[in-house]
């Protein structure tokens, strides 16, 4: 797939439930172009983060925008440390209008490679930690809808239908 073909994928797209393969530098795709295109799509849809499978790309890349920082891409990210518990409402660009309270770690340290192929780590807390965990779940084919009980999901879907102007 070419970067110019990236577009937001929504609920029901099979790529959202697939575990993605590692990103391979030195292939056809330019990491800077991937980063730029994913940031543009995230901004267009008013997101704080977006994962590669949400834009139709099947490799382990996410983009996040921590508070008071520029948005950037993380290639082959993985959590190396986590602690604390944090529960807050989450939304997802691939599930418009659906908001669910999800438990996450309050603090995470993530190891990743940047677009220049430099190994990096980042420590995030609170909302930023929640966001990166949400995006990392996407890379493993896990949607936030699977992190709550059926009852909570049903109630959230009812609210979603109201937000979208439907009553049933």
Strand-pair partners of 107 = 83, 125
Looking up tokens 């896990």 gives: 142
- C-alpha 82/C-alpha 129 separation (Å) is 9
Question: Residue 76: how many CB atoms within 10 A of its CB?
Answer: 19
Q: Tell me how crowded residue 160 is: count the other CB atoms within 10 A of its CB.
A: 18
Determine the Cα–Cα distance for residues 50 and 40; give it in Å rounded to an integer: 10
Specify the 3-state DSSP secondary structure of 47. coil
Give catalytic residues, as residue numbers: 135
| CA proximity to 83, closest of 101, 64, 109, 121 | 109
Q: How far is CA 64 from the centre of its chain?
A: 8
Which residues, listed in sequence order, are joined to residue 62 by a DSSP beta bridge?
51, 74
């Amino acid at each position: 797939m070419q970067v110019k073909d990236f577009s937001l994928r929504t609920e029901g797209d099979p790529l959202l439930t697939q575990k993605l393969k590692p990103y391979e530098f030195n292939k056809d795709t330019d990491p800077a172009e991937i980063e730029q295109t994913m940031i543009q799509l995230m901004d267009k849809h008013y997101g704080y983060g977006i994962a590669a499978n949400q834009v139709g790309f099947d490799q382990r890349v996410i983009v996040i925008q921590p508070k008071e920082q520029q948005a950037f891409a993380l290639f082959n990210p993985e959590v190396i440390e986590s602690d604390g518990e944090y529960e807050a409402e989450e939304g997802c660009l691939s599930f418009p209008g659906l908001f669910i309270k999800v438990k996450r770690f309050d603090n995470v340290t993530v190891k990743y490679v940047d677009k220049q192929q430099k190994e990096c780590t980042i420590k995030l807390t609170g909302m930023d930690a929640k966001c990166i965990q949400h995006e990392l779940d996407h890379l493993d084919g896990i949607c936030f809808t699977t992190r709550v009980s059926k009852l909570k999901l049903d109630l959230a879907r009812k609210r979603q239908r109201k937000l979208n102007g439907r009553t049933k």
